[in-house]
Amino acid sequence: MKFSILVPVYNVEKYLEQCVESLLDQTYKGDYEIILVDDGSTDSSGKICDRYAKNNPDKIKVVHKKNEGLVSARQAGIEIAVGEYSLFVDSDDFVDNNLLETVSDCIKRNNNPDMVIYSFRYYSNGKTTNRKTTLSADETIFENDNKKELYEALISTNFITSLWTKALKTEILKNDPTDYSLYYDRNMAEDWFRSIHLLTAAERTIYINTPLYYYRTNEESISRSYRPETIPSKNTLYVYDRFMEYLPEWDMNTEEYHKKLNARWLNEVMYIFTTYYENVSEKNKKAVLEYNWSSMLPEAVLNEKNNPYENVVSSSLFCNLISKNFLRIRIHFVKKKARKLIKKLLKRGK
């Protein structure tokens, strides 16, 4: 069997059918399996999984397990996957109907690479939006001398952090020595964390600049929960520590890459702060402002000065946060909102 598609499922009754239908409606003519892992859903998601398995017994497997989170659900799927290559699909997203055929053709043309990375589109309210930038030229091969480009992208961009833009040899997933049970409580940056090892283990990776996946920008998603009490769950220092372990292996354990990594963390934490501040109710803004955002940053970032890779806005926001200059922060967001409104009015007037 060529492909296993691993789908973690948790309380997505509203979107699950669209997801599974897109996986069944593939133009690919070879054998593949769909593994639906019901992670203790409390809505009708589990029943929907069972119905699809009953109607497609040769194609769909279902695993029902207690709720332990996304990391655990993915591990359960990996354990029973039998395809030569595995792909991940989040159950509130869906895929293009030529996903498997396109990946299969790429694999054949390039002598069975360890990994294929593809692009995606954003999907919201029935409308799709293409990404404005790309990782590299179509069918770029990353191996040996240019593999550092992938590691740099993993450090500095969001191009290849997601598991759901990767098709990779299942043996690489099964041979990952990481004890993921230690991370079952993580619901932030799990893809990023896991990708560090997977990209390292894949000796030959192909990038195809074709959008084959539809990422739903879903306000109900766990990644878009903006209550102040959920801020600690967004801490990604465990991913930073993982990078620090791998930099020597990548021959990138230099001041330059340390600074790039540190800048990425400041920018990420300030992005989290911004999304919380802009999405919480007015009464909760004070709690967001007063949260100890320094606790989400490595010591190296807190002790660093004049990092040329830092985003100027991120640096300014953080300085105002630690000095408790909340008025300047409020003014920043008022101006930002005003600029958006003016831009919208100007666009409407054309």
- For the domain that residue 90 is a member of, what is the CATH number? 3.90.550.10
Q: What is the mean pLDDT of residues 239-264?
A: 97
Domain boundary (190, 222, 254) is at 222
Strand partners, 330: none
Reported as a pLDDT band with limits 50, 70 and 90, residue 65 is: very high
Residues 240 and 294 reside in one and the same domain: yes
Q: Using CA atoms, how far apart are residues 49 and 46, in angstroms rounded to an integer?
A: 5
pLDDT of residue 163: 97
Residue 350: predicted pLDDT: 60
Are the C-beta atoms of residues 3 and 77 closer than 8 Å to each other?
no
Of the candidates 346, 6, 313, 15, the one whose C-alpha atom is nearest the C-alpha of residue 168 is: 6
212 & 179 share domain = yes
CA distance 263 to 149: 18
- Residues 234/296, Cβ–Cβ less than 8 Å: yes
Whether residues 81 and 178 share a domain: the answer is yes
Cβ within 8 Å of residue 153, ≥6 positions away: 135, 159, 160
Q: Which two tokens stand for residue 341?
A: 């409104």
The answer to whether residues 208 and 230 belong to one domain is no
Inform me whether the pLDDT recorded for 62 exceeds 90.
yes
Same domain, 72 and 192: yes
Of 222, 244, 269, the position where a domain reaches its end is 222
What is the arithmetic mean of pLDDT over 213-234? 77
Q: What is the pLDDT of residue 306?
A: 87
C-alpha–C-alpha distance, residues 110 and 193, integer Å: 27
Share of the chain above pLDDT 90, in %: 86
Mark whether 45 and 73 lie in a shared domain: yes
Contacts of residue 329, defined as CB under 8 A and 6 or more positions apart, other chains included, come to 277, 289, 317, 320, 321
Residue 325: give the domain boundaries. Answer: 225-349
pTM beyond 0.85: the answer is yes
Q: What is d(CA 9, CA 39) in angstroms, rounded to the nearest whole number?
A: 6
260 against 188, higher pLDDT:
260
pLDDT for the residue 229 = 93
Total domain count for the chain? 2
> Do 218 and 142 sit in the same domain of this protein?
yes
Q: Which residues of 95-108 are buried (b: 16+ CB within 10 A; e: fewer)?
A: bbbbbbbbbbebbe
Give pLDDT, residue 223. Answer: 43
- pLDDT at 224 exceeding the cut of 70: no
Burial class of residue 228, CB neighbours in 10 A (0-12, 13-18, 19+): middle
- Indicate if the pLDDT at residue 89 is higher than 60: yes
Average pLDDT, the chain: 94
Q: What is the mean pLDDT of residues 227-246?
A: 95
Residues 6+ apart with CB under 8 A from 129: 121, 122, 123
**With 90 as the cut, is the pLDDT of residue 132 above it?**
no
Q: Give pLDDT tens digits for 152-185.
A: 999 999 999 999 999 999 999 999 999 999 999 8
Confidence (pLDDT) at 222: 43
Structure confidence at residue 134 (pLDDT): 85
Average pLDDT over every residue of 44-70: 97
Looking at residue 264, its pLDDT comes to 96
For residues 42-69, one letter each, b for 16 or more C-beta atoms within 10 angstroms of the residue's C-beta and e for the rest, the string is eeebbebbeebbeeeeeebbbbeeeeeb
Residue 203 sits in the same domain as residue 281: no
- Does 221 score more than 60 pLDDT? no
Both 46 and 182 in one domain: the answer is yes
Say if CB 218 and CB 126 are below 8 A apart. no
Give the pLDDT of residue 153: 95
Do residues 26 and 87 both lie within one domain?
A: yes
Indicate whether 201 and 344 sit together in one domain.
no
Last residue of a domain, one of 190, 206, 222: 222
Q: Is residue 66 domain-shared with residue 171, that is, in the same domain?
A: yes
pLDDT tens track for 290-334:
999 999 999 999 999 889 999 999 999 999 999 999 999 999 999
Q: Please report which confidence band the pLDDT of residue 239 belongs to, taking 50, 70 and 90 as the band edges.
A: very high
Residue 14 has a pLDDT of 95
Note the pLDDT tens digit of each residue in 269-298: 999 999 999 999 899 999 999 999 999 999
Task: Read off the pLDDT band of 218 (50, 70, 90).
Answer: low
